[in-house]
A and B are shown apart, each in its own frame.
Chain A
């Protein structure tokens, strides 16, 4: 083990496949004893949102809330989405091959003490409240917090 033993990830994407990669790397790093932080911004916030909770205060915010549903189990793949059918196909294929599902990966990350941080600015833009995020989120932060984590990290990824 060399240097400072930290891993940090920016999760900008809300695509099922990218979120899966992000959580596999984060849990793998945590399992190797690394102090791991995931910083969720913009579409990435969907992975740490509760399901079936409407967001938005103003008209535009409510429209985005209607079109952009949260919950890690509801994410669509970046390709072959087919208006939501692709998600079900991928979920079936993953289940058949006994790949760990996204909700399970999220729980594993929480169990392994992966720190889940939410970007305050994106939450403001999309009108996503703290209450609509899952309880596992440890803090709501800004760029300076991430930069500090990233500067101390041996592994730093942007997903």
Chain B
């Protein structure tokens, strides 16, 4: 999978990956996908929780080797 925009959150700790996620999603159009690269263990729970609360869709995750890729689709 490939996102329309890539967010590099490698090395970042809570709350930065989520704050950047929220900031980037504001810039994007409905239907576009944000690809987040994060190695913070907390992000495994936080990205799905943020999506559930804001109504955006987590399309899936991929192993990037040492970090995880999260694909979040902006709701229409």
Residues of B within 8 A of A112 (CB): 19, 22
Residues of B within 8 A of A24 (CB): 14-15
8 A Cβ contacts from A71-113 to B = 97-100, 108, 112
Residues of A within 8 A of B50 (CB): 31-32
Main secondary structure of the interface of B (DSSP, over half): helix
Task: Decide if B11 is an interface residue (CB 8 Å cutoff).
Answer: yes
The closest CB in chain A to the CB of B23 belongs to A31
The closest CB in chain A to the CB of B25 belongs to A31
Given known pairs A97-B13, A98-B13, A99-B13, the reply for A32 and B53 (CB within 8 Å) is yes
How many contacts A-B (CB < 8 Å)? Answer: 36
Task: Decide if B29 is an interface residue (CB 8 Å cutoff).
Answer: no
Per-position contact with B for A21-58: 1 when CB-CB < 8 Å, else 0? 00010011011110000000000000000000000000
Interface size class of A (residues with CB under 8 A): 10 to 19
> Distance (Å) between the CB of B74 and the closest chain A CB?
13
Interface size class of B (residues with CB under 8 A): 10 to 19
The closest CB in chain A to the CB of B20 belongs to A31
Task: Decide if B60 is an interface residue (CB 8 Å cutoff).
Answer: no
> Distance (Å) between the CB of A16 and the closest chain B CB?
16
The closest CB in chain A to the CB of B51 belongs to A32
The closest CB in chain B to the CB of A99 belongs to B13
The closest CB in chain A to the CB of B55 belongs to A1
The closest CB in chain B to the CB of A32 belongs to B53
Contact check, A32 vs B22: say whether CB atoms are below 8 A apart. yes
Task: Decide if B59 is an interface residue (CB 8 Å cutoff).
Answer: no
| Complex Cα–Cα for A27 and B14 (A) | 11
- From A30, A33, A99, residue with most partner B Cβ within 10 Å: A33
8 A Cβ contacts from B9-44 to A = 11-16, 18-19, 21-23
